[in-house]
Amino acid sequence: MSEGQQHPLSIYYSIWILLFVVSGFSYAVDYYQLQGTLRWTLILIFMFIKAGFITAIFMHMTWERMALQLAILVPPIFLMIFIGIMAIEGDYTFLTRIEFFTESDFVPVYHNSGAAH
Amino acid sequence: MSDTSVAQTGEPLKEGLAGVVADYSADKTAFQVPWGKAMMWIFLLSDTFIFSCFLIAYMTVRMSAQDPWPLTSEVFSLSMGGQPIPLLLIAIMTFILITSSGTMAMAVNYGYRKDKKKTFYLMLATAILGASFVGMQVFEWTKLIFDEGVRPWGNPMGAAQFGSAFFMITGFHGLHVSAGVIYLLVVAFRVKNGFYERRGNDYGIVEVAGLYWHFVDLVWVFIFAFFYLW
């Protein structure tokens, strides 16, 4: 076996600091109560930066051969489809509950056509 | 099996996509890494799917909940000097986990340098940080169950699904951290008492344990974003 993953310590220190800073940023998003599109855009950006650097540097994915990289990183792409399917399902369940479980004095607002029901 | 830069046929290995095709069609070792590392990666891939199922289930129940979802920055706030600070404990837990990831990365590095002593102490530090993370989680659960009355079937703040999603996701993650602490301690003491030295002076196992630990940190990144910040 070769000597495995040997890298200078400095790269770990810089990633370590970077993770601290980015975590601080994502905490600040909540602390300053940013809302709406800005909030979830920032949360997702910081999340993917952190996840990417942990996988690439700490878990040494950048230095692995492409066969292993593809075997590990491609299957999670299918999760996107799963998320999409379940988002549609969640929306459907919510609308069904609005339709059948709400009090009679509650009138749901339909944006596209008021005469649909 | 012994040399990773040259295929078993004796020819030099190809790079890039041609390398992928050559590796997969090699009819021998597909992954040019030690066996334990390949298996750990495949385990982590399966674990990714388990955690994803939990997070997707959480998304679905949250989208379909009629009652308002409890405000996490209020539910998880801690009072400091009479003033509530949102998500304070969660932020501390996040920084502890990142710190432990850093010490683990150092341990892997010193392992490959055959520095037994530093590897042992860095792994021990990682395990202690991991244990303190679990301790804080116990505190968080206690606060939520006894002070705020959160139950898997309901809570006074809003949507009933909050409790089951919270206990399931953070509980499963906490279980991973606890298992990781035990795993790290076993490997650390084996490093210390020369177990790996007697087995060809190979500290690859430290990297395999490190992969697991970084994965636990990775999962927390997603839980932090989707459960606490959303």
Mean residue pLDDT of chain A comes to 86
Tokens of B228: 């606490």
Closest CB to B225: pick one of A9, A26, A102.
Answer: A26
Torsion over CA: B8, A68, B40, B45 (sign): negative
Instruction: From A3, A4, A14, select the one nearest A57 (Cα to Cα).
Output: A14
In a domain, A115, yes or no: no
- Please report the pLDDT score of residue B9 as a whole number: 63
Range of the domain at A78: 66-103
pLDDT classification of A110: cutoffs 50, 70, 90: low
Radius of gyration of chain B (CA): 22
Q: pLDDT of A89-98, one tens digit each?
A: 999 999 999 8
In order, the DSSP letters of B116-169 are HHHHHHHHHHHHHHHHHHHHHHHHHHHIIIIIS--BTTB-TTS-THHHHHHHHH
Q: Classify A4 in phi/psi space as left (phi over 0), alpha (psi -120 to 50) or beta.
A: left
Task: Please check whether residues A21 and A51 belong to one and the same domain.
Answer: yes
Residue whose pair of structure tokens reads 């590095």 in the numeric block = B109
Helix (H) or strand (E) holding B189: helix B161-192
Closest CB to B91: pick one of A27, A40, A87.
Answer: A27
Mean pLDDT of A1-22: 84
Helix (H, G, I), strand (E, B), or coil: what is residue B9? coil
Helix (H) or strand (E) holding B204: helix B204-223
Alpha helix stretches (DSSP H) within B25-115? 35-64, 72-75, 88-112
pLDDT at residue A84 is higher than 90: yes
pLDDT at residue A108 is higher than 80: no
**Three-point CA angle B21, B27, B31, nearest 5°:** 65
**Please, how many CA atoms are within 13 Å of residue B173, restricted to the half-sphere of its CB?**
30
Tokens of B220: 């927390």
Task: Please check whether residues A74 and A94 belong to one and the same domain.
Answer: yes
Distance from C-alpha of B145 to C-alpha of B152, rounded to nearest angstrom? 10
Closest CB to A12: pick one of B2, B19, B106.
Answer: B106
Distance from C-alpha of B14 to C-alpha of B30, rounded to nearest angstrom? 13
Task: Please check whether residues A59 and A72 belong to one and the same domain.
Answer: no
Mean pLDDT of A57-63: 94
Amino acid A105 reads D
% of residues, chain A, pLDDT over 90: 67
Instruction: Tell which of A25, A40, A54, A79 to mutate to test the B interface (max B CBs under 10 Å).
Output: A54
- Please report the pLDDT score of residue A24 as a whole number: 93
Contact B102 A12 (CB under 8 A): yes
The CA–CA distances, whole Å, from B205 to A96, B41, B202 equal 52, 13, 8
Instruction: Tell which of A9, A19, A43 to mutate to test the B interface (max B CBs under 10 Å).
Output: A19
Task: Please check whether residues A7 and A46 belong to one and the same domain.
Answer: yes
- Please report the pLDDT score of residue A107 as a whole number: 58
Amino acid B127 reads A
Contact A2 B62 (CB under 8 A): no
Task: Please check whether residues A55 and A78 belong to one and the same domain.
Answer: no
pLDDT classification of A6: cutoffs 50, 70, 90: confident
Pairing of strands B83-85, B78-80: antiparallel
Residue-range domains of chain B with CATH: 1-32 (no CATH), 33-229 (1.20.120.80)
Helix (H, G, I), strand (E, B), or coil: what is residue B202? coil
* Whether the Cβ atoms of residue B169 and residue B224 lie closer than 8 Å to each other: no
Cβ-Cβ contacts under 8 Å for B123 (sequence gap 6 or more): B103, B104, B107, B184, B185, B187, B188, B191, B206, B209
Instruction: From B80, B98, B163, B135, select the one nearest A31 (Cα to Cα).
Output: B80
Regions of chain B short of the pLDDT cut 50: 1-2
Closest CB to A70: pick one of B3, B20, B210.
Answer: B20
In order, the DSSP letters of chain A are --------HHHHHHHHHHHHHHHHHHHHHHHTT--HHHHHHHHHHHHHHHHHHIIIIIT-GGGS-HHHHHHHHSGGGHHHHHHHHHHHHHHHHHHHHHHHHS-TT--PPPSS-TT--
Task: Please check whether residues A59 and A84 belong to one and the same domain.
Answer: no
Chain A with chain B: Cβ pairs closer than 8 A:
165
Task: Please check whether residues A26 and A73 belong to one and the same domain.
Answer: no
| pTM score, whole prediction | 0.87
In a domain, A109, yes or no: no
Task: Please check whether residues A49 and A72 belong to one and the same domain.
Answer: no
Asked if A18 has any chain B CB less than 8 Å from its own CB, the reply is no
Task: Please check whether residues A58 and A74 belong to one and the same domain.
Answer: no
In chain A, how many domains are there?
A: 2
pLDDT classification of A117: cutoffs 50, 70, 90: very low
Task: Please check whether residues A55 and A80 belong to one and the same domain.
Answer: no
Task: Please check whether residues A49 and A12 belong to one and the same domain.
Answer: yes
Task: Please check whether residues A5 and A59 belong to one and the same domain.
Answer: yes
